[in-house]
Amino acid sequence: MKVEGKVLKFGDKIDTDIIIPARYLKYTDPEYLAQHAMEPLDPEFYKKARQGVILVAGKVFGMGSSREQAAIALKAAGVKAVIAESFARIFYRNAINNGLPAIVLPNATKEINEGDYVVVDVETGEIVVNGSKVLKGKGLTGMPLEIVKSGGLIEYLKKAKV
Amino acid sequence: MPQTLTEKILSRAAGRPVTPGDVTEIKVDKVAFHDLTGYHVIEVMEKVGSLKVFDPGRLVIAFDHLAPPPDVRSAEIQGIIRKFVRELRLPNFHDINYGILHQVLIEKYVNPGEVLVAADSHTTTSGAVGAFAQGLGASDVAAAVITGRTWVQVPQPFKVKLVGEPGKWINGKDVALKILGDFKADYFNGMALEVFVEKPSAFPMDYRATVANMGIEMNADALMFVPDSETVSYIKAMRGYEPPVVTPDPDAKYADEYTIELNKLEPLLAAPHSVDNVKTVGELEGTPVDQVFIGSCTNGRISDFTMAAQILKGKKVKARCIAIPASYNLFEKLMEMGIIKVLADAGCIITYGTCGPCLGGHFGIAGPNETIVSTSSRNFKGRMGSNESKVYLAGPAVAAASALEGKIADPRRY
C-alpha cells in the first residue's frame, strides 16, 4: 500500500488543540472538521492540503487530547500520511483507527523539506523523496496494518463481527 | 522474575506474563467516557452495528465538558447519551450536577491494580490510586465498551522517587512541572512512570491526582503512584471499603530512576505555549494577568482551594477569578469548611463539576491578547479561547496570589 504527495512541514509538539480546536468537537462530520484543520497555525491549511499532501513533523506529533477528530480532520483535509519523528500514543492510534497512515522516521524534519514530493510505502516504511533519495521509516505491521488496510477500526470491527 | 507495577497489572490483564515492548490484547476493568467524547463513542458503536456494553457495571459516564450545556448542540449531545443510558439501563451515569469524570473515577470507581481506559486523555489521573489508566480515542473506547478488551504496547517502566516533605505553598503541580521542565514533553513517550512516595502522608491523594493527571502532558503511556497507606485510607474514606493493593516487587528492574526532593521545590509555572516551558515564579513575577482559573481535573480539589483561600481570605481579587471544584462531593465539603464563602467574598465566581474554561469551552473563555493564569493542565496556543491569548499554568498558591495582585505573584510573601 503506497501513498504520495507534496510535503507540508511542521515542527515539534504539534498538539491536538492546533490540529483541531476544541470548539469544533461537537461534530464528527469529516468535511466540517477538514475546514478547520490546523487553523490556529495556518487558516489556509485546508486549501493547501486539498490536492493531497504528506505531513512531515518533529517530535510527539498529536500530543494532548484524545479527540479522534484530529485524525479525521487531517485525513478529510487531504493528508495522505503523517511522517513524524515520534507520535503521541493516542493520536497514533486514532490515525490508524481512521485509516490515516502514521510513519515514524527519526530525523524526518532534517531529511525532508517543505515542497518535496514523497512516495510512502505504508507496510515497509520506505519513503522515496523527489524520486531519488530513499529513507527507511517504521512501517505498519500486524493489527495496525490490518486496520489501515480495512479503511479504519469501524470496518475492521465489522469484519470481526464483534 | 520480579515485576514492576506496570508488568504486574498488564500481565494479569493479558492473562500471561508480559514484558516491556510486548504488544498484547488485554481485558479492561473499567471503561469511561464523558459528554464531548461519549456521543462520538456511541456513533462508532452504531456504525459498527453493535450497540451493546460488555458489562454495564464496568462502564462509567459523567457529563463535564459541556456541563451545563453552553449551546443547543451541547444539549443535543447530552440528550443522545442520556437516551443511550436509558435504553441500555446503565447504572453508573452521572449527569451535569455530579462531577468531572476523572474526579468521579477516583472518588467512586477505580481500584489499585486495575486497568482503566477512557475517551479522554486525562484518564491518567486514575494512576493516582495505582491503576494503569490510559486515554484512548472514541473508536478504541467503543471497541472496549463492546468487547471489554483493548490492545496495548507494554511501556518501559521508569521509577520516580519523591522524598521529604513539600513546603507550605508547594503541591502536586510543582512536582508535575518539575518533571516536565527537567525532561521535556517528549521524553517519556513509550514509558510508564511509577512513583514511589517515601512518606505517604506528606504527598496526599490530591497532590497525586495532579501529578498523574499531567502524566499525559509528559506523553507518558501511564503514570502510577505505587499504592501505599495513603491510597488505602483515601479509598476507605471515599467508599467505605479497603481495596486490595498491588505493588511492584522490591527488586523489579526499571529503565531508569529519578528523585525529587520535595523540600527543595519552589513554585513553578509553565509559560506559553508549551507545558514544558517551565519557569520559577521569580522569573515571571510582575507579568500582568487578566484572569485566573482555579479548578479542573488537574487542580480542583480540597487542598487546592484551601491553599487558595489562605491567600484570598478577607481580601479582594484584582484579576477576574473563576473557581471550579471538580465534583459536588468536593464542593459540599468546601461549603462546610467555609472555603466557598471565602472565595466568593474575595470576588471569585464559582461553580462545580465543569471542565468549561480549561478547554476554551465556556464559563470564562480567554479573549484576544488576554493573559490567564490557570491551574489546569494545558497552555497550548488557543487552548482556553483566542489564539492570541496567553496561558500560564501554575498551582493554586501562585494562581491565588496572582489573582489578588493582578499580576504573576509569589505566594511565599503571604
Q: In the structure grid, which three cell numbers stand for residue B292, read together?
A: 485566573
Taking the C-alpha atoms of residue A119 and residue A54, their distance in angstroms, rounded to an integer, is 9
Taking the C-alpha atoms of residue B329 and residue B135, their distance in angstroms, rounded to an integer, is 24
Taking the C-alpha atoms of residue B147 and residue B139, their distance in angstroms, rounded to an integer, is 12
Taking the C-alpha atoms of residue B118 and residue B38, their distance in angstroms, rounded to an integer, is 10
Enumerate the β-bridge partners of residue B197. Answer: B162
| Chain A nearest-CA residue for B189 | A88
Q: In the structure grid, which three cell numbers stand for residue B390, read together?
A: 496567553
Q: Would you state the pLDDT for residue A143?
A: 81
Taking the C-alpha atoms of residue B136 and residue B145, their distance in angstroms, rounded to an integer, is 12
Taking the C-alpha atoms of residue B154 and residue B115, their distance in angstroms, rounded to an integer, is 13
How many other C-beta atoms can be found within 10 angstroms of the C-beta atom of residue B282?
A: 11
- Confidence check: pLDDT of A142 > 90: no
Taking the C-alpha atoms of residue B31 and residue B11, their distance in angstroms, rounded to an integer, is 19
- Tell me: cis bond preceding B94? Omega within 30 of 0 counts: no
Q: Which residues of B touch A42 (CB under 8 A)?
A: none
How many other C-beta atoms can be found within 10 angstroms of the C-beta atom of residue A159?
A: 10
Taking the C-alpha atoms of residue A44 and residue A110, their distance in angstroms, rounded to an integer, is 24
Q: Would you state the pLDDT for residue A146?
A: 87
B5-262: CATH number: 3.30.499.10
Whether the CA torsion B174, B177, B182, B187 is positive or negative: it is: positive
Q: First and final CA of chain A: distance in angstroms?
A: 26
More confident residue, A141 or B204: B204
Task: Tell me the per-residue pLDDT of B187-240, one tens digit each, with 9 for 90 and over.
Answer: 999 999 999 999 999 999 999 999 999 999 999 999 999 999 999 999 999 999
The most distant pair of C-alpha atoms in chain B lies apart, rounded to whole Å, by 60
User: Are both B5-262 and B268-413 of the same fold?
Assistant: yes
Judge: A64–B121 Cβ closer than 8 Å, yes or no: yes
Taking the C-alpha atoms of residue B323 and residue B267, their distance in angstroms, rounded to an integer, is 20
pLDDT in tens, chain B (414 residues): 999 999 999 999 999 999 999 999 999 999 999 999 999 999 999 999 999 999 999 999 999 999 999 999 999 999 999 999 999 999 999 999 999 999 999 999 999 999 999 999 999 999 999 999 999 999 999 999 999 999 999 999 999 999 999 999 999 999 999 999 999 999 999 999 999 999 999 999 999 999 999 999 999 999 999 999 999 999 999 999 999 999 999 999 999 999 999 999 999 999 999 999 999 999 999 999 999 999 999 999 999 999 999 999 999 999 999 999 999 999 999 999 999 999 999 999 999 999 999 999 999 999 999 999 999 999 999 999 999 999 999 999 999 999 999 999 999 999
Domain ranges of chain B: 5-262, 268-413
Taking the C-alpha atoms of residue B378 and residue B384, their distance in angstroms, rounded to an integer, is 9
B336 inside 8 A of chain A by CB: no
Taking the C-alpha atoms of residue B32 and residue B108, their distance in angstroms, rounded to an integer, is 13
* Average pLDDT over all residues of chain A: 95
Residue type at B206?
D
Crossing angle of helices A89-97/A142-150, nearest 10°?
Answer: 40
Identify which of A20, A12, A6 has the alpha carbon closest to the alpha carbon of residue A117. Answer: A6
Structural domains of chain A in order of their starting residue, each with its CATH number:
2-160 (3.20.19.10)
- Confidence check: pLDDT of A162 > 80: no
| In chain B, residues 202-221 whose CB comes closer than 8 Å to chain A | 216, 219, 221
Taking the C-alpha atoms of residue B275 and residue B291, their distance in angstroms, rounded to an integer, is 19
Tell me the percentage of chain B whose pLDDT exceeds 90: 100
| Chain B nearest-CA residue for A24 | B361
Identify which of B177, B349, B369, B361 has the alpha carbon closest to the alpha carbon of residue B274. Answer: B177
Judge: A65–B120 Cβ closer than 8 Å, yes or no: yes
Judge: A26–B147 Cβ closer than 8 Å, yes or no: no
Contacts of B71 (CB under 8 A, 6+ apart): none
| Secondary structure letter of residue A89 according to DSSP | H
Task: Tell me the per-residue pLDDT of A30-50, one tens digit each, with 9 for 90 and over.
Answer: 999 999 999 999 999 999 999
Taking the C-alpha atoms of residue B264 and residue B247, their distance in angstroms, rounded to an integer, is 28
Q: In the structure grid, which three cell numbers stand for residue A35, read together?
A: 475546514
The H or E element containing residue B141 is helix B138-147
Q: How far is CA A130 from the centre of its chain?
A: 20
Residue type at B64?
D
- Cβ atoms B293, B358 nearer than 8 A: yes
Judge: B143–A67 Cβ closer than 8 Å, yes or no: no
- Cβ atoms B115, B79 nearer than 8 A: no
Q: Which residues of A touch B136 (CB under 8 A)?
A: 66, 90, 93
- Cβ atoms A102, A120 nearer than 8 A: no
pLDDT band of residue A144 (cuts 50, 70, 90) is confident
| pLDDT mean over A97-123 | 97
Q: Would you state the pLDDT for residue A145?
A: 87
Strands of B262-357 (E only): list them. Answer: 268-270, 278-280, 291-295, 320-324, 348-350
Residue type at A9?
K
User: Which CATH fold topology does B268-413 show?
Assistant: Aconitase; domain 3 (3.30.499)
Q: Would you state the pLDDT for residue B79?
A: 98
B23 inside 8 A of chain A by CB: yes
Q: Would you state the pLDDT for residue B291?
A: 98
Q: Name the residue facing A26 among B23, B74, B360 (closest C-beta).
A: B74
Contacts across the A-B interface (CB distance below 8 Å):
116
B387 inside 8 A of chain A by CB: yes
Taking the C-alpha atoms of residue B362 and residue B385, their distance in angstroms, rounded to an integer, is 9
Which long-range contacts (C-beta less than 8 Å, at least 24 apart) are formed by B281-285? Answer: B281/B394, B281/B398, B281/B408, B281/B409, B281/B410, B281/B411, B282/B410, B284/B392, B284/B408, B285/B407, B285/B408, B285/B409, B285/B410
Pairing of strands B278-280, B268-270: antiparallel
Query: Coil, strand or helix: which one is B87?
Result: helix
